[in-house]
Amino acid sequence: MADANLKINTALLDGLIVGRVEPHIYAFSTETVPNYLKVGDTARGVRVRLDEWRKIFPNLIQQYVHSAQINNETIFRDFAVHTFLEQEKGRRRLLPDTFGHLPYYSKEFFEGATTADLEEAISDIYQSAREKNGKYQFYSPDRLPQTLTYERTDSYPPRANQQQVIENFRNAIVAGRTNLLLYAVMRFGKSFTAMCCAKEMDAKIVVVVSAKADVKQEWKKTVESHVYFAGYKFLDSASLNSNETIVADTLAAGDKVALFLTLQDLQGEGIKAKHKEVFEHQIDLLIVDETHFGARGASYGKVLQQYNLSKSQIEKELQNIDGFETLEQVDEAVKALDTKIRIHLSGTPYRILMSDEFKKEDIIAFVQFTDIIDAQKQWDDEHLKEDDCNEWDNPYYGFPQMIRFAFNPNASSVKKMEELRKNGITYAFSELFRPQSMTTKRDGSHRQFLHEPEILDLLEVIDGTKEDENLLGFLDYDKIKDGKMCRHIVVVLPFRASCDAMAALIQREKDRFKNLCDYEVINIAGFDEERRYATTDIVKGKIKTCEENGRKTLTLTVNRMLTGTTVPQWDTMLYLKGTSSPQEYDQAIFRLQNQYVTTFKDENGRTIKYNMKPQTLLVDFDPNRMFRLQELKSQFYNVNTEVQGNAGLRERIAKELTISPIIVLNKHKLQEATPTNITDAVREYSRNRSVLDEASEIPTDSILLEDTELLNVLREIAPIDAKNGLQIKPTEGDGDDIDTPDTPDTPEGTGNRDAEPTDQPNQHPDRPNPAVEDDKLDKRLAAYYARILFFAFLTDSTVKSLEEMIAAIPQTSDNRRIANHLGLDRKVLEVIQEKSNPFILHDLDYKIENTNDLIRDAALHPMERVEIAMRRFGRLSDSEIVTPAKVADEMVAILPFEELSEKADAKFLDIASKEGEFSVALFRRFGEKVKLGLYAIATSTLAYEFTRKVYSLLGMPVENIYADFTSYDLIGENNNEIIKQLTDMKFDVVVGNPPYQRNDGGGMGSSAPAIYNYFVDAALTLSPKYICIITPSRWFTGGRGLEEFRDKMLNDKHIRILHDYPNASECFPGVEIKGGVSYFLRNNDEEGLCNIVTHNGDNISAVERPMREQNSEIFIRDSKVIDILRKIQSFKEPSFSDIISANDPFGYDIRKIIVISE
């Protein structure tokens, strides 16, 4: 039942949340053992325990439940109840031969026992505890002091999955593998297993290197506490400093060495001299711990750059990051060590596995949380039915279940983020938590959020003092309170000063809250508390003390203590940071997944272990991110286990959701996310991304970049982020016999619009300058991946992998043509298929399958598929920027609807189609009847394929796309035949968004010579009734060869409408076109004044006036100044323009002046 203060249906959560469970006595009856009660105890939850017994006794009925906890300091066992039943009530235990054919015998069944007997037993036990009469055994917390040297008392053997790793290790070194990876999530026991590997190879010298000094104590405990490692002596940097020959001395004494060093210990020449003995010995086994730290600091630095932080601000943010060391630093630090075998330990090696450092045979372990849960469950099934078995004997006892909440932020925050995105801020989620100052300020501005009202509103909703349709006020949810959950929360924020601002806000507004006011805020990453929480031990000690005193805590961090650090009490994480890195995300949330078990002992030393954290909560306010990373994690697992395809992916997701459910809020009702929900959400996310975005996400495959044949191909293509775009040149070979558009010979006077020219003309626009671009091989490879994904999208064949795509290319003429136009060579594709890193190849295959599926989704209407297609194509190059649908629709809207609708055979021509955007806009406006009259000329062979795909999806005749020439041929030399062919078609309307400028080596940016004027001239030559074309507005003032065109336009009284956008980003978001853009409508049959519409954001003005004002050589943009101009001109004074020009002010050549000054 939902909480009274919430309008949210929490029925699902009511059955899911368990929380911290006190030990309980339980009893059940079963027809299988009539007239008996089974009496037991459990520390995990009665429902869970009875479900396990139900597998043996399906018809059991719960008869009794009671807490086994007298108070916080005292617990009793079922033994006490058994004693009472036998000695006080005379109840006899079940004997093995009492009943025949029992499915399982347990001596904890008592004949004739009743619930009243159990009530008496509990009452007597409580009385004994009060009187301390010694009648029953009671258990109290075992609080042992921390020891500097551990007693060697542990003797447990390796678990089955650990033993398998040890065997894998042995087989790998026998096979000659020397650089190994042990991938296992935390709680697997990586350090113990690694030391077992050392024992397996009889390593005399073991060196453990870690980026984090915090883990030293864990390694010391591992080496010193287990009898299996009795021959090893634990040493560290301090040991080496105290005795320069301690390694040799230890070996001479017959012992073995386990030496722990940090990366800092190994860096610097001075340090190497201090640790000289280490470098002189050959190391049998080098263990690199926490290898997943690789590149963490560097990658986070790149993330911070997008937030418009200064260099000093970024440096301050990185001062607080754990694991700043990069993989290169790890290699640099350990390469001087003479080692026989290396084992790299990691819980999140995503980047590492995508590199070529480890082959499949080098990976000796691949263990995820699902494997841990499977092992935990298997142990319980095999052992818990035994009467003398304790639940905590399970080596995975206390491993918590994570409940994941995927909520959108509160409504006011969502509204603010939408506003930020409209202002061009793509990282709106992190921006929401930006403080007024990113660094500490005396005025305290770093303690104030820029968007404080929205953040305060979010906190009040989380607290339960406010209601919101987007999320549950979980801190006020009764089952979480009763289950003692959310006691120690860690909040992950985007910036260091965000921690200061959050701490200040909670303290300042404490009286507003009914739950957050009970938390002690521990600010470990901000600037204000740097000295107070200088070490992780101080932080851990603070949280431990708060728990012992019954105080709840709220820890604020950015990166600190989110890698390699264990805080047992942390049970909840609020993720308020924008990140798309699965490695960073998983490392953070794994902080919750450690066991928190308290041991109780009786006076005889017998123990009970109490699970203090059976469940944890992860609250993410970016549901799409949680879904994407869940899919990625499942995909990653399937890659390793060689399970392919989306069907296998959904099965894997289903298993992970069973173990760790994701809860979403849908129409005021909490629901569990399904695999279909997740794959649909990821697909929806993909629908809004371009192929270039998808290709850029594929990790760089360094193996491929070592292939000479492929390198030769890559150096011939532009990087994916090149200014000039993909610049695809069709291949020779497969597909040449198909009727395809020729590669345009770009005439003088053509080129890429708005491209920033270099100082020298590029004679081969499809070949970037090697001197400038040769360091971008990774970007070139991404560009080739983009071509592969484009093929998957454009083909009508079903392809689920690169292998299937290679097979599909020669099967149809369409596929051969598409591959040709995309510049795809089967031989090159075969090299990629054969030599790719298997993890990266599977990543590519998944993208191929999803891209191919997306366009064939039967649930979508044709126009929806077209809209997806246009988003997938995206921006191809500076020359081929797709006209946004909104702009195309607005341009088509100024065409006379009734006249063109009534004409049965009206013909329309897009003279510069990138993906048929104007044909789509015309179809949207005029409907089915115009399909046969929609024609297009593509700007390139790639644009031809995109346009053809759109035509095909809408059922328009693909033969209406001119295949023998491109837009550039319209304005090239020897274009007479093309012009005649088009003129004979007698088009009624010519529309388009043509390429804008060329690079002649003499101009920069907006001063590069224009070519759009040639396209307007070509349109006029075709003599249509209507022309509607969008161009830059630089022709308003002329210059760079536009004077004649400007005069022609200003004197053309057939131009009846002109829409002017001084800020081009209103039409083309994210594209800078200096001087703005404009589009016009020319009516060949009418003359008159022009309706000039000026767009300045929401301020739109319209004036009907001549294009050319009397005695004006330029187009006057602002209609308000015309009266002023007329008044000035009435004085008939000389014009200032007579003595200056843009290029030669006051008669001087500005370019010569610049050269002289340099």
In a domain, 148, yes or no: no
Q: 365 and 417 share a domain?
A: no
Determine the Cα–Cα distance for residues 369 and 377; give it in Å rounded to an integer.
Answer: 12
CA quadruple 97, 103, 108, 112: dihedral sign: negative
User: Quick check: 156 and 379 in contact, CB under 8 A?
Assistant: no
Q: 994 and 1067 share a domain?
A: yes
In a domain, 24, yes or no: yes
In a domain, 666, yes or no: no
Q: 766 and 840 share a domain?
A: yes
Residues whose CB is less than 8 angstroms from the CB of residue 737 and which lie 6 or more positions away in sequence, other chains included: none
Determine the Cα–Cα distance for residues 209 and 272; give it in Å rounded to an integer.
Answer: 14
Number of Cβ within 10 Å of residue 861's Cβ equals: 8
In a domain, 1152, yes or no: no
User: Quick check: 617 and 660 in contact, CB under 8 A?
Assistant: no
Q: Which of 607, 630, 662 is the last residue of a domain?
A: 607
CA 936: distance to chain centroid?
39
Output the DSSP codes for 149-164. Answer: S--S-B-PPPPHHHHH
Q: 369 and 418 share a domain?
A: no
Torsion of CA 29, 30, 35, 40, to 10 degrees: -40
Residues whose CB is less than 8 angstroms from the CB of residue 926 and which lie 6 or more positions away in sequence, other chains included: 897, 900, 901, 906
User: Quick check: 372 and 396 in contact, CB under 8 A?
Assistant: yes
Q: Which of 607, 632, 662 is the last residue of a domain?
A: 607
Helices (H) and strands (E) in the chain, counts: 46, 33
In a domain, 159, yes or no: no
Q: 115 and 187 share a domain?
A: no
Q: pLDDT value at position 317? A: 59
User: Quick check: 525 and 491 in contact, CB under 8 A?
Assistant: no
Q: 850 and 881 share a domain?
A: no
Q: pLDDT value at position 295? A: 38
Q: Which residues pair with 208 in a beta bridge?
A: 260, 287
3-state secondary structure (DSSP) of residue 1106? coil
Determine the Cα–Cα distance for residues 673 and 626; give it in Å rounded to an integer.
Answer: 11
In a domain, 491, yes or no: yes
Q: pLDDT value at position 552? A: 97
User: Quick check: 196 and 182 in contact, CB under 8 A?
Assistant: no
User: Quick check: 896 and 925 in contact, CB under 8 A?
Assistant: no
User: Quick check: 495 and 434 in contact, CB under 8 A?
Assistant: yes
Q: 823 and 894 share a domain?
A: no
Determine the Cα–Cα distance for residues 507 and 513; give it in Å rounded to an integer.
Answer: 10
- Stretches where the chain sits below pLDDT 50 are 1-5, 144-148, 293-304, 322-327, 733-773, 999-1005, 1153-1158
What distances in angstroms separate CA 899 from CA 988, 1064, 1078, one per listed residue? 11, 31, 24
Determine the Cα–Cα distance for residues 354 and 777; give it in Å rounded to an integer.
Answer: 17
Q: pLDDT value at position 155? A: 84
In a domain, 319, yes or no: no
Output the DSSP codes for 269-312. Answer: HHHHHHTHHHHHSPEEEEEEETGGGTTHHHHHHHHHHTTT--HH
Q: pLDDT value at position 912? A: 94
Q: 462 and 370 share a domain?
A: no
Q: Which residues pair with 449 in a beta bridge?
A: 435
User: Quick check: 875 and 690 in contact, CB under 8 A?
Assistant: yes
Domain around 195: 165-291+338-378
In a domain, 269, yes or no: yes
User: Quick check: 1013 and 770 in contact, CB under 8 A?
Assistant: no
Determine the Cα–Cα distance for residues 59 and 53; give it in Å rounded to an integer.
Answer: 10
CA 337: distance to chain centroid?
36
CATH code assigned at 251: 3.40.50.300
If DSSP states are collapsed to H, E and C, what string results for 313-354? HHHHHHCCCCCCCCHHHHHHHHCCCCEEEEEEEECCCHHHHH
CATH code assigned at 590: 3.40.50
Residues whose CB is less than 8 angstroms from the CB of residue 53 and which lie 6 or more positions away in sequence, other chains included: 28, 38, 60, 385
Q: pLDDT value at position 1004? A: 39
Number of Cβ within 10 Å of residue 1154's Cβ equals: 9
- If we measure between CA atoms, which residue out of 462, 452, 451 comes closest to residue 491? 462
For residue 1064 the two structure tokens come to 């081009």
User: Quick check: 940 and 730 in contact, CB under 8 A?
Assistant: no
Beginning with the edge strand found earlier in the chain, give each strand of the sheet holding 607-611 in spatial order.
Answer: 140-141, 597-601, 607-611
Q: pLDDT value at position 5? A: 41
Instruction: Please give the single-letter amino acid code of residue 187.
Output: R
* Residue found under tokens 């065997």: 167
Q: 565 and 458 share a domain?
A: yes
- If we measure between CA atoms, which residue out of 218, 353, 339, 192 comes closest to residue 279? 339
Q: Which of 590, 607, 624 is the last residue of a domain?
A: 607
- If we measure between CA atoms, which residue out of 183, 196, 254 comes closest to residue 223? 196
Determine the Cα–Cα distance for residues 346 and 289; give it in Å rounded to an integer.
Answer: 7
User: Quick check: 142 and 74 in contact, CB under 8 A?
Assistant: no
Q: Which residues of 67-80 are buried (b: 16+ CB within 10 A; e: fewer)?
A: ebbbeeeebbbbeb
Output the DSSP codes for 1115-1129. Answer: ----GGGHHHHHHHH
- If we measure between CA atoms, which residue out of 534, 539, 515 comes closest to residue 462? 515
Q: 1092 and 966 share a domain?
A: yes
Q: pLDDT value at position 528? A: 93
Output the DSSP codes for 589-658. Answer: HGGG-S--EEEEE-TTS-EEEEES-SEEEEEES-HHHHHHHHHHHHHHHHHHTT--HHHHHHHHHHHHHH
Determine phi and psi for 674, rounding to 5 degrees.
-105, 165
Identify the DSSP state of 882. Answer: P
Q: 207 and 275 share a domain?
A: yes
Q: 772 and 905 share a domain?
A: no
| Structural domains counted in the chain | 5
CATH code assigned at 966: 3.40.50.150
Determine the Cα–Cα distance for residues 757 and 241; give it in Å rounded to an integer.
Answer: 60
